[in-house]
Amino acid sequence: MTKYTPMMQQYLRIKAEVPDAFLFFRLGDFYEMFFDDALKASKELEITLTARGGNKEDKIPMCGVPYHSAAAYIEKLVDRGYKVALCEQTEDPKHAKGVVKREIVQMITPGTAVDAVNEKENHFLGSAVKLAGGRYSIAYLDLSTGESKASVVDSEELLLQEVSLIRAKELILTASVDEELIRKFKDRGITAISKVNSETLSFDESLLSLLEGSDVKQGISLLLHYTADTQKRSLDHLQKTEQYEVSSYLQIDPNSKRNLELTENNRSGSKKGSLVWLLDETVTAMGSRQLKSWIERPLINQIQINERLGLVESLKHYFFERESLRELLQNVYDLERLAGRVAFGSISPRDLVQLKKSLQQVPFIKEKLNEIPDKGLMKRSDSMDACADVAELLDASIDDQAPITIKDGNFIKDGYSEELDQYKDASRNGKKWIAELEQKERSLTGIKSLKIGYNRIFGYYIEVTKANLSSLNDDRYERRQTLANAERYITPELKEKETLILEAEEKSVELEHQIFQVIKEQVKNEIPRIQKLAKDISEIDVLQAFAYISEKRHYVKPVFSEQKTLNIKEGRHPVIEKVMDLNEYVPNSCKMDADRSMLLITGPNMSGKSTYMRQVALISVMAQMGCFVPAEYAELPIFDRIFTRIGAADDLVSGQSTFMVEMLEAKHALEHATENSLILFDEIGRGTSTYDGMSLAQAIIEYVHDSIQAKTLFSTHYHELVELSSKLKRLKNIHVAAAEQDGRVIFLHKVKEGPADKSYGIHVAELAELPASLISRANELLSLFEAEKETGAESRQQMTLFDLPEKPEPAENKVLKEIQKINVLEMTPMEAMNELYRLQKRAGKMLTKS
């Protein structure tokens, strides 16, 4: 250290406190970085790298960013997963003996950044502490809003699921955590991970007062310790930690959440095309965040669900009141994050104006809710605290045209402070007097170009061009400054008034700042009330959004079945329906009950099997959120978990193939599903050979049917599996219909009872415009394979899968049985023609062989 200057020694000592962060070291109007920080920051921020020091050997790499524009650079580093420590002067240079004292005043990390967060999303900092028996205490906190939650999960799998669900921007772990677990977090996109050595609590433990049991407190304790240690500023806006049980909500694992596209689409990862994109008709930023929370955690308590549905029903019915409510909510700003800024001390005069305007809307919101004859809405109105005293304080004190920063001044209203009014009056009248003096001096001297100006160095002055100097023959004028073309003077009268004006302005600015600090403290004391109001308004906003979208898109109120019946009549996929024209979408029904718990779905590719499965799941999710659903009628069980295996991609990072991913997702469902769960399996077994895949598919179907008995939709291209309906009493065949016309396939997108008769695979390839020669060859091969199959060479092998006799049944008997099963009265003319054509082809092949 001795070879460095005292200032650089100070830098190195402070840098040693934060080895894993960029140290922004304040020097004058710049934040400077040195050594490795400078080398790395110059590349990340694309700024010039220079050096400090004398000879070549002693030069220290250095770069810096201006203090006034540092926020953009800090945001860029934090977005890339880095931490930034802000080191400021904490001593007046005038009183310093040697190097000015400096300290780290704040650490900005991916999870604690609050200035550039997405207003419609939470920005969570998470934590996890391992407990005995493989359990984990978990917690997460949004520093910008102050909300925090904590729970205990029973396994590492649930831990990974919860962290993935909340999308923590940063995860805090104890120093002893297993490195393999860290790798798993990173595989799930949690790249900013911080280890904490000390678990000494240095925060207000009253934040834990609502938590029951020591285990659940460990995760939030670690989280609050880290927050207090890094922020080094007021955290008075932190709300009481809410304890929750994972099992209290409909559980949807990350894979299923992705497959169902609840919060983002699978193609680009954007919100467009997701369920949240469809339902987000909220008006406030708070409501948008609340909506996302409800989508990710639907309810399983029927009383709570029906309460929400009842409120939505009333809001849907009273159109004019709801529209007025929407207009009022448009004038409500983000109360949660405004409260956070008050606590941090970063609130601006303009922010307080936004807070005032928001609070002024609340009495009208309460009045509008009371106009709807619904006890639930009236109860919510009664419990809504308008914080009228806060609104009155801000209305009396802060000017509506207040600036963004307090340094601009002139934001305290006239009449709020008698002393401030006196200073303002002196300043205003003084300036008026200056203008009058200018006119007086022009008249006395006859110099029309004479003017009175001001600068910080000389104060007020009288400026006369050199061409007019001869007109000044009065001893009152004392020269102050000579310019190229003019002279500047003062008079005793002007000097006396200058002192009064400048003193009034200086004291006015100082007093205005003092008043603003007092107002901030008064508002700060009311943060819990403002946060409670924010929660009330956010929920009302989501409920009115549900009502708005339900009316706009013709949704119906679902009912829940005690007998666990699922009966959806003319259901629709909500997102695809929005993308398409409402009149073009083909609705489909779905019926499942105690005697019909598993549906085996067949039909060609592109016919809509996956869409049908997803729409059943999405309707269930929407219903358990408390929203109306896209159908003509919907009777539903309350599901505890939803599992989906729809589509898969190779997991190249972990070296897992499509088939392995498929099997792991199937395993997860089979291990955790209950009879109250919903399972969607799409094309299980297609990633391996035909017989392997078919065997696995059948074994999975039998296991779910016999051992789990969950409501299950299972789509397949293995048409041989349709025979299982004769063995498994609760399994029924359905298919998505298609028809041939002029040699081309037409997808009807209509789900019907019974199995599909063919897959139309080559027709789909033709629609995809594969080369004509390839399509022709495929048809030749298909005819060949079908002929071989009719000989029984292959069918004997496949029939063993179903424990059928090895000797094949005569082909003509099969045809006769098929004819017997046909119900001509329920078929359309086109379906009857297609069926006749198929049977004619089979009969022709039989005659050819004979």
Residue 47's domain is classified under what CATH number? 3.40.1170.10
Same domain, 139 and 241: yes
Is 454 within the bounds of a domain? yes
- pLDDT (tens digit per residue) in 247-261: 999 999 988 999 999
Tell which of 195, 228, 248 closes a domain: 248
Same domain, 440 and 490: yes
Sequence-ordered list of residues with C-beta below 8 angstroms from that of 102, at least 6 positions apart, any chain:
10, 14, 25, 26, 87, 88, 89, 90, 91
Q: Are strands 22-27 and 84-89 parallel, antiparallel or unpaired?
A: parallel
Looking at the DSSP assignment, which residues form a beta bridge with residue 126? 140, 171
Same domain, 570 and 645: yes
Is the pLDDT at 650 greater than 50? The verdict is no
Most confident of 290-299, 410-419, 607-616, 747-756: 290-299
Is the pLDDT at 337 greater than 60? The verdict is yes
Q: Are strands 170-174 and 84-89 parallel, antiparallel or unpaired?
A: unpaired
Question: What is the CATH number for 431?
Answer: 1.10.1420.10
Confidence of residue 279 (pLDDT cuts 50, 70, 90): very high
- pLDDT (tens digit per residue) in 466-494: 989 888 877 888 888 899 899 999 988 88
Bigger pLDDT: 29 or 843? 29
Same domain, 574 and 678: yes
> Which residue, 490, 519, 113, is CA-closest to 337?
113
Is 43 within the bounds of a domain? yes
- Provide the pLDDT for residue 795: 43
pTM: 0.81
Question: How do the residues of the chain divide into helix, strand and coil, expressed in percent and rounded to 5?
Answer: 50, 20, 30
- pLDDT (tens digit per residue) in 418-427: 888 888 887 7
Same domain, 292 and 314: yes
What's the token pair of residue 543?
Answer: 């409920």
DSSP secondary structure letter of residue 398:
B
Is 1 within the bounds of a domain? no
Confidence of residue 828 (pLDDT cuts 50, 70, 90): low
Question: What is the CATH number for 724?
Answer: 3.40.50.300
Binding residues: 603-610
What is the tally of structural domains in the chain? 6
Is 787 within the bounds of a domain? no
Confidence of residue 135 (pLDDT cuts 50, 70, 90): very high
- The answer to whether 718 and 683 are in contact (CB under 8 A) is no
d(CA 161, CA 838): 49
Same domain, 597 and 694: yes
Segment 841-848 shows an average pLDDT of 66
Q: Based on the number of CB atoms within 10 Å of its own CB, is 849 exposed (0-12), middle (13-18) or buried (19 or more)?
A: exposed
Binding residues for ATP: 603-610
- Provide the pLDDT for residue 588: 95
Same domain, 574 and 703: yes
| Residue 703, CB-side half-sphere exposure with 13 Å CA sphere | 13
Is 727 within the bounds of a domain? yes
Same domain, 512 and 540: no
Segment 751-772 shows an average pLDDT of 73
Same domain, 576 and 723: yes
Tell which of 193, 226, 248 closes a domain: 248
Q: What is the CA radius of gyration of the chain?
A: 37
Same domain, 614 and 755: yes
Q: What is the mean pLDDT of the chain?
A: 86
Question: What is the CATH number for 226?
Answer: 3.30.420.110
Q: Report the run of H or E that residue 745 belongs to, with start and end.
A: strand 744-753
Is the pLDDT at 797 greater than 50? The verdict is no
Tell which of 769, 800, 827 closes a domain: 769
Q: How far apart are the first and last CA of the chain?
A: 101
> Which residue, 21, 25, 14, 16, is CA-closest to 70?
25
Give the whole-number percent of the chain exceeding pLDDT 90: 50
For the sheet with 148-153, list strands across it: 193-196, 170-174, 124-130, 136-142, 148-153, 242-243
Confidence of residue 802 (pLDDT cuts 50, 70, 90): very low
> Which residue, 355, 380, 386, 387, is CA-closest to 544?
380
Same domain, 637 and 576: yes
Is 293 within the bounds of a domain? yes
Is 797 within the bounds of a domain? no
Bigger pLDDT: 807 or 167? 167
Same domain, 644 and 663: yes
- The answer to whether 25 and 34 are in contact (CB under 8 A) is yes
Domain of 487 in residue numbering reads as: 418-516
- pLDDT (tens digit per residue) in 45-56: 999 999 987 555
Is the pLDDT at 201 greater than 50? The verdict is no
- Across 365-379, 678-692, 713-727, least confident range: 678-692
- Provide the pLDDT for residue 561: 94
Is 77 within the bounds of a domain? yes
